[in-house]
Structures are given as structure tokens and as C-alpha cells.
Structure 1
Amino acid sequence: MSRPIGLVSALRQELAAVLAAMPDEHIQRVAGRDFWVGHWHGHDVVAVLSRVGKVAAATTTTALLERFGVGRVVFTGVAGGIGQGVRVGDVVLARHLVQHDMNASPLFPRHEVPLYGRSHFAADAALSAELAAAAQAVLAQPHHTLGADAVTEFALSAPQLHQGLVDSGDRFVSSQTESDALRQALPDTLAVEMEGAAVAQVCHDYGVPFAALRTISDRADDTAHVDFTRFIERVASVYSVAMLSQWLTVRSP
């Protein structure tokens, strides 16, 4: 019997469309968090808000693995674009994740997680490949997925899927100075957010496959999008439910 799939987002607006697609979910409360347990496209799923920041996300993920025994974890939500050519409305699939604010030097190299001997945690290759195919199918038809009004409002012409390094840290990066510093310290960075690397580390500890899809809501600089909530509701959450639905539809239960 297959184990449930864990679906995680940081904010309620990001998870709202997923919960609306689950026909029979019921809530179980663990560690002060609501876990929505149900089914979607024939799969057992558990959906939860990680909350914001690395510690909150690690606590949520540990409860998800320990209490609900999920067999894989998928994180969806928004992020700030850092890499060249990563635009608002594009989607980034994490291949590796790093805590950009981890610094235990001089005892350990900058960014290395103490006692792990590594700074980067890899997303699961097979799971990520499945999600990449689902994301590309959805992004190929933005007008169909989002509607013409949303495409026009947010100027989402020819959205692209990018795959590579995602940074996580306990601060909201929203200035050109901070973005430039991240690019200098971690030149391969595509996007920045506040939870993914912590979730990846917990999944690494438990040996559970993990993948993360992030919609770019802004460029993480002085031109950051002003209507963050509207973007999540009109674009990011719609992308999330469409991509997850596409993935679960073609995946065997």
C-alpha cells in the first residue's frame, strides 16, 4: 500500500486552491497545526501550511513525517527571482537548496550545515522530473490555466520553467542590495524564499523524497511586486493546483 503524499505551502492563500480541489478532506490538529487529510485524483494526500520561516517549516515537516507517515513531500508557493532571466510568472523547480543565512564560520565553511558536511540538499531527482513535466504542460497554456485577464494584468507572456538552486533564509529579500549580495555569495541561485532548505534537510534526515515548485512573484529587489496577495490568488495558487493536478493525474496511485 502506497504512503500518503504530503503537500505543503507557507501561506493559506497558496494552499487554498489545493484544499478546494480535495473533495473529502478532514482536519487533524498536531503541534498547533491543521493537517488536511483526504484524497485527490485517487491518491491519499495530507496538505498543510508550513508557516513562514525555517524553524516553523521544519516543525511542520517533522510532524507530517512522524504522525502521518507520508512517502514524499512536495512544496509549492512563491519565491523572489534572483537568477538572470527568471521573471515574474516563471516557475522555479529546486534541484538543490541551501540556507543562505547559515554561517557557522570559522568552525565550518560559510553555508555548510554543521555536522552534515554539506551546504546543499538535493531535491529528489525522480520526483522532480515528474513535477517538471507537469509544470511544463501547464506553463505551455497560460491563458487556459490563468485566464486572459490574469495573463494581461501581470504581463505573463511565455512563462518559463527554470531548474536549479533555490536559497532559503529567515528574512524577506526585497532590495537590490540584498539580491546582489546573494548573487555574489551563491552565483547559481535562481530564487530565494524562507522555508525550502529546512524542509529539504528534514526530508534528508528521514530519507523521504522531496521536491519544490515556486512561482516567481517578484524580482526580490526594489521593484518587488506591490500586490503580493493578489498575485498569489490570481496566479501562484492557480499554478500550484494545476501543476499538482496534472502530476497526480498521470501518476499511478
Structure 2
Amino acid sequence: MTIGVIGAMQMEVDDLKAQMTDTQTEVYSGVEFVEGKIGDQYVVAAKCGIGKVFAAICAETMILKYDVDMIVNIGVAGTLTKDLNVLDVAVATNVLQHDMDTSPIGDPKGLLSGINMILLPADTKMVELMCSCLADRNIHYKKGNIATGDQFIATKEQKDYISNTFDAIAAEMEGGSIGHVCYVNNVPFAILRSISDGDGGETDYQTFAEKAAHQSIEVVLEFIGRAEELK
């Protein structure tokens, strides 16, 4: 079994790479992929870059080139609910793309043309294992819809729109496209997002993003160590 781990920023995957042994590195479409082992588990890790296109390129390459059995997307997000504060964690039950909008021709907002879905479901077993890892570390988390778009969501108006339209608990810039790629390739996925910004928006992000990213890595390392439970 091989687990793919995708982060948007270097700080989200550096700590993971440091734990890997027997590594080999290759670059495809400008993305560096590091293949190796963490304990007895085969892992492929990559920093995809920020935004939906980079994330999709990375996920598709990881699936086609490395034949991963599942993908975990880690990183940070902004909260859309009072139930999640800075350094809490959002775990996706579904992902969606809040900036996908063909509603002028009669479609509901967020509909992904071609597959005719708005919500793409994360793998149930992966979600439950991720939540177990969070509970073991006494990290407060919430499961729910995570919304993706090519925007840094900072204003109350933006947050209210996404929350009210899609019942989303967090907003970020990669998970929905990774979920989209995984869905069409029939590859299980999970999305873990530590909250780096709340009402403070970009100010919170500058202060807490690195700590939130490190927290994500710690949880994913435990997830990888317990991956045999998914069989």
C-alpha cells in the first residue's frame, strides 16, 4: 500500500520528508515528488503549490505515476464556523468548489459539470482514522464540508456566502480539486486542515500558519503509522 500526501506549501511537507527513509526524488510538471518509507509504510509526498490547478496537476501525477492507493491532503484553512477556532482542525466529510458557478444557465452553484455533483465524499474509513488520531492527541476537530476556491477568503461577506450556500465549515484553496481528481480516478482521499485564520483573516494566517501546518504533519504521521487499520 502506498499513501500519497499533498501539501500546498513547503512548510506543510518539510517535516514529513524529514521522517522518510530510502528516498528518491523526481520532478514532474515542476512539482517535486519524494518517494520513500516512513517506518514500514510506503509514502509519496509533494508540495503542489497554491491553488486548484497546481493541486490537480499534483494529484493526477501522483495517481498515474506512483499508483498511490489513497491521497491525504494536509494544510491550513480559514474557519467558517464558531465551532472551529485557530489551531482546531477541520476534517472533510465532503469537498466542494465554491467558485464553480454555472448558475446563469440553470445549474445550482458549485455543480461540477461532467460528473454533475457538488459534494465529493471523502473516504469514510480514512476520515474515521484521521479523527481517531486527532482524538488521541486531544486536538479539537469538527467534521463537515470543506470548500475550495482560488481565493483567500478573508471578509465576513465571503465567509457567510460560502457557509450559507454550501454548509461548509472551512475554506481553503486545494482540497476540492484534489478530491475531484481522486473521484474521477476512483482513488480514496481525506482532507485535513488545521485552522490558521479565524475572524482575524490574513493577520491570523501570518501568525499561526506555520504552527497549524506542523500540527497537521504530526497527525498525518500518526495516520500513516496506523494505516494498516484501513485494510
With the length of structure 2 as denominator, give the TM-score of the two structures: 0.93
Structure 1 match to 2:51: 53
Q: 2: distance between equivalents of 1:193 and 1:217?
A: 10
C-alpha displacement of 1:225: 5.2
**In terms of Rg, which structure is larger?**
1
Residue of 185, 201, 211 corresponding to 1:224: 201
The answer to whether the 8 Å contact 1:13/1:232 transfers is no
Size of the aligned set, in residue pairs, is: 228
Q: 1: distance between equivalents of 2:59 and 2:106?
A: 28
C-alpha displacement of 1:241: 2.3
User: Is 1:240 matched with 2:220?
Assistant: no
Note the aligned Cα RMSD (angstroms).
Answer: 1.6
Q: 2: distance between equivalents of 1:168 and 1:244?
A: 21
With the length of structure 1 as denominator, give the TM-score of the two structures: 0.85
The answer to whether the 8 Å contact 1:41/1:245 transfers is no
Q: 2: distance between equivalents of 1:116 and 1:174?
A: 30
Q: 1: distance between equivalents of 2:123 and 2:37?
A: 23
Q: 1:210 corresponds to which letter in structure 2? A: F
C-alpha displacement of 1:229: 4.9
The answer to whether the 8 Å contact 1:108/1:114 transfers is no
Per-residue deviation, residues 193-233 of structure 1 (Å, max 9, x unmatched): 011110001101111000010000011x4x22526355233
Q: List alignment gaps of at least 5 residues for structure 2.
A: none
Residue of 15, 20, 28 corresponding to 1:17: 15
Structure 2 match to 1:149: none
Residue of 173, 179, 183 corresponding to 1:194: 173
Q: List alignment gaps of at least 5 residues for structure 1.
A: 141-158
Per-residue deviation, residues 86-115 of structure 1 (Å, max 9, x unmatched): 111100100001110111122422211112
Structure 2 match to 1:170: 150
